[in-house]
Structure 1
């Protein structure tokens, strides 16, 4: 397949992307062979986004919390008291259904890889990549056996991924030192949040996953990424809808407003940097890389400005390892005879999208357990979140 007439951020020249056997074969100024082709107008192409922190099974929750907290421990204790009924109503939905919705939440936004924090998912056919070649440790305060798990010699070759420094008080800062001290086997550490982290501490981490919207919602503060970025690699994450908007582009624009990463750095935190950290063959539209590609309307802009203007409504196509998982209704006639799988038709604001799988069926199953569950895809039969 060839994707014709697209621009890649950072290179405003129009190119064609040739795809074969799930990988990018060639990126060239033009392509004229007789293989299956899709032609776009005023569109940009970029690597499928890599969401380096989510809890897939927690994306049917609304945001829970009604004040500014000093730490994740204070927030956790408060929501289990104040929102016990709401939490129970979501947790009674089977985890497999919650995880599958978590995948769609990401896919609808152009995410093709998610690093899920927690136990291995139950999904056999996840559509996108659910990265789990790491060891998830919840946190220093909420996991009793974290020291033992961190120093498990059988896990030494995998990075340890842990919530750390998620707070504004002294305890949040000193727990980072505690983690560093007890990393006896010198495991590769990938921290999540790091709001209380200082540059000296950051040097001990292979990477830090920045989740600014979650941080502002809980703590009204985020990590000093502008100070930490010279000491460790910065990756981008959303966390779940417990603490953030369902749409990753909402998070991205909030991060951009902080100006703690420049436009190139923020773009890289969603593409090439996590691909290198997690050792993925993706994150770049380059020959030989996996064909994880998103194409979206350029809205009259070029380069990274067009990238930062994107909403789910603007996405024209999402491809994962050469397989089209989502396409806009405007491409329907070009794809006639090419697409053979089953797709659901959903509405994302002003356009219908065709998404692989049975989303209405999934929603109907979820509503058997929680009739008032809301979803961010307007439809006559579905309440919007």
Structure 2
């Protein structure tokens, strides 16, 4: 298949991309035509970028509304507060079987152009293959919420496996000290990937392989976020959304907020979602290059916008196609005439902000099944 006449995000380089056997086979000139290609998709005024990598989500927590009504000092204070004051709302959501909640979390990411999501929590059995659910790491929730975190961290036979842990999620002294305590107890010097790191300083950053920045979640809970403008000199910065407990379902909303902070340049922010994450998680994706996995997203370019402005103005309704390892997981209805010759069995049609999308799998049935357990469930698609 050739994806024809595209502009690469940020650089505006005009290209066509040949995909074969799940990989990017060739980067070709724009308006490329080859009568030997089995299928060609033609685009007009569209940008292409690597499938986004969401480096932190709790997939089973994305049916929750945002819970909390004040600024907290740290995540433990918030946790105690919501379990006391929102007990009924929490229990309503937890009536939905975990597998259904996880599946919705996967689709939430797909609708935003995510092709890999790092799930924080216990491993999911048989996740949908519409995107990659990355689980080749050890998840420890946090120093405060996991009593046996020291034992979990110091497993000598797992010392090459990265550990992902909430750390420094607060603005008080306890949150700052928690980071140093964690680093001190990393006896086997395992690769540590901190999530949030709001209280982290430059010296502490050197003890970690990477930091997952979740600005919308941080501002919702703490009215402050990690000082990645200072930490980026000492640590690789990745991007995460966390769940809808503390933020919007739409990843692009999170990215827009991150850009407004000006803590990172546009290129640095783009890299947190692409090449930085791919390198950290050792994925064969994250950039548009021959031999990489064909994890690609194509979106409409809003009229008059170029470069970074075109990329950062994207919303889910603008996404025309999401390709995961060479397979189309989502496409806009305007591409249907070009795709109808392919086997489209197994796709379902949904409506989002004025546009129709086709997604692989029966998303409509999934939402119906969820509503049987939780009638108040609200979805961004119909």
Aligned length: 378
> Is the CA contact (8 Å cut-off) linking 1:59 and 1:101 kept in structure 2?
yes
What's 2:317 paired with?
313
Q: Partners in 1 of 2:11 and 2:343 — Cα distance?
A: 30
Bigger Cα displacement from structure 2, 74-83 vs 339-348: 339-348
Q: Partners in 2 of 1:373 and 1:277 — Cα distance?
A: 35
What's 1:328 paired with?
332
Q: Which runs of 4+ in 1 moved over 4 A?
A: none
2:77 matches 1:107: no
Matches within 5 A, 1:50-199: 50-199=53-202
What's 1:45 paired with?
48
SS of 1:176 mapped into structure 2: helix
TM-score, scaled relative to structure 1 = 0.97
What's 1:32 paired with?
33
Ranges in structure 1 where 5+ consecutive residues have no aligned partner:
380-385
TM-score, scaled relative to structure 2 = 0.98
> Is the CA contact (8 Å cut-off) linking 1:100 and 1:126 kept in structure 2?
no
> Is the CA contact (8 Å cut-off) linking 1:103 and 1:126 kept in structure 2?
no
Ranges in structure 2 where 5+ consecutive residues have no aligned partner:
none
Shift of 1:17: 0.3
Q: Partners in 2 of 1:339 and 1:230 — Cα distance?
A: 48
> Is the CA contact (8 Å cut-off) linking 1:313 and 1:351 kept in structure 2?
yes
Matches within 5 A, 1:353-364: 353-364=357-368
Bigger Cα displacement from structure 2, 198-207 vs 153-162: 153-162
> Is the CA contact (8 Å cut-off) linking 1:209 and 1:234 kept in structure 2?
yes
Shift of 1:222: 0.3
> Is the CA contact (8 Å cut-off) linking 2:103 and 2:127 kept in structure 1?
no
> Is the CA contact (8 Å cut-off) linking 2:127 and 2:133 kept in structure 1?
no
| 1:28-65: CA deviation from partner (whole Å, max 9, x where unpaired) | 11422132000000000000000000000000000000
> Is the CA contact (8 Å cut-off) linking 2:103 and 2:128 kept in structure 1?
no
Shift of 1:339: 3.4
Q: Partners in 1 of 2:168 and 2:347 — Cα distance?
A: 42
